[in-house]
A and B are shown apart, each in its own frame.
Chain A
Amino acid sequence: MESSILESIGVDIIGVMSPVSICMLLVVFLVYSLSPSSPFSSSSTPLRTAANLVYLETPSDSAAQKLEGALLNALVFVILIALVTFLLVVLYYYNFTNFLKNYMRFSAFFVLATMGGSIFLSIIQQFSIPIDSITCFLLLFNFTVVGVLSVFSGGIPILFRQAYMVSLGIIVAAWFAKLPEWTTWVLLVALAVYDLVAVLAPGGPLKLLVELASNRDDELPALVYEARPTVLGNTENRGSSLGVLVGGVSDSGSVELQAVQRDNLNQTEGGNRSDSEYTAVEVLRFRDEDESGRDEGESSPLVGYSREKYSPSSEIVGIFNDCSCCI
């Protein structure tokens, strides 16, 4: 019996939905287990972060004050993020790629080490885990270094990369949960709106970034979640039986998917043209709503595939080349 369509429908949706759901579930568990048992034992001075530069919420303010303060906080935060994203676009435009890559690595390292480390310490404190400081430091260091390696270099299984992307999301979300209540909600809405504008509006920084990257046929050194799109066996050729494929985008040379077929040899004389078109099939967007602490832009892997049309009278041999996408 042939395989039914039920096997393959909905893979893409699930591929994006499951990390988001896992991230949300784990954040809920984390915040629930780390929350103070009594509402009055919270720290006396709320932390001053970039998200409450303007207004520090206290429980004794009136609702109108809180709303106004929260809106101001959100405005300042969004402006800050927009400025930094534009800076990123400018740097990318002037080809400061090395600087950007190293900065990305540094920031991933920093987030995992400090913010992740602080959460790690809170867990140890909450559950009274008997662990000494040297072991703890070693574990944290290993966790951080493997995280940076898996996200930014090749040769590491995709599962690790996905797991670290999810844990980055968890860490940033757990940190955002420490903000005061009104600021959190307003910030959430403001970031969602900013996201839409930045990606879809013509002057939006993320859209510019994506366009620059696609013009140069390059991949951004950004924190990208790859859901590993499945290969579409698309055989629309009229003539020869050499099928086409989807080039999976992975970074720094390690190709985990297939090769892109290119027509190199043309064995018949006279011009037998074969057009190869690149069409962007699917832009996978993975954006966790809580992932807002990163000031680097993010984009998505552009999955391109080439379609070659053969004229019926030709005998064309295609040569398989390894496609290693440069980063």
Chain B
Amino acid sequence: MQYFKRLLDVYIALEALFALSWCFSDAEPGPVAGSQSNGDRFKIEGRAIVPGVKTQDWISTARIQVEGEEYVGFLKTDGSFAVNDVPSGSYVVEIVSPSFRFDPVRVDITSKGKMRARLVNYIKTSEVIRQPYPLQIRSSGPHTYFMKRETWGWTDFLMNPMVMMMVLPLLIIVLLPKVVNTNDPEMRKEMEQSMNMLNPNPELPDVSEFMTKLFSKGSSKSGGGNKGSRSVALKRR
């Protein structure tokens, strides 16, 4: 059993090597391949899926292009496709649709007709990230052809942080003196008291305790959980 497994490993490694070496020693360019006999012509198969859209709504405008317009295929009513008469070589297969976006896939065909699909990478052309074959090409959504207009609304204007930063202090400066009558002696007293409340005063320990309590409660709430607050409360005691 062990022996068999090893053999399999060796086989896989060999195959990978072969694929890699083949990848570098590419097949002949187009015109030469075109003159080959029909015996070594192959078929690229696959299926295209647009999630959530019925096939009949989009297949009539779509088609499959292999290396530009060198080979062309059409979609069947169930979303599957086949491109016939493709000689061995390496090709970028792309589903072209004016409404949906599909990512291209590179398909390598060996001279014996072995197929392999991998991600298209134009910079590292020999990199192999395998894709399923027969191809399963899933649309990544509709094309975005249009730019968004910059619209203008009152809410946009008001919610602008700059505007808010300007408006709030303005309100405080303008409105506070009007609301609070500074001439009233009682009011002044109250304000002084509130100022003292804010200032840390050693003479008033209960206020500070109140404040810490308040803050600890607030922080524990933001921590999100009854448990936390209880534990804090316990510690306090």
A binds B: no
Q: Interface residues, chain B, CB within 8 Å of chain A?
A: none
Chain A residues near B (Cβ < 8 Å): none
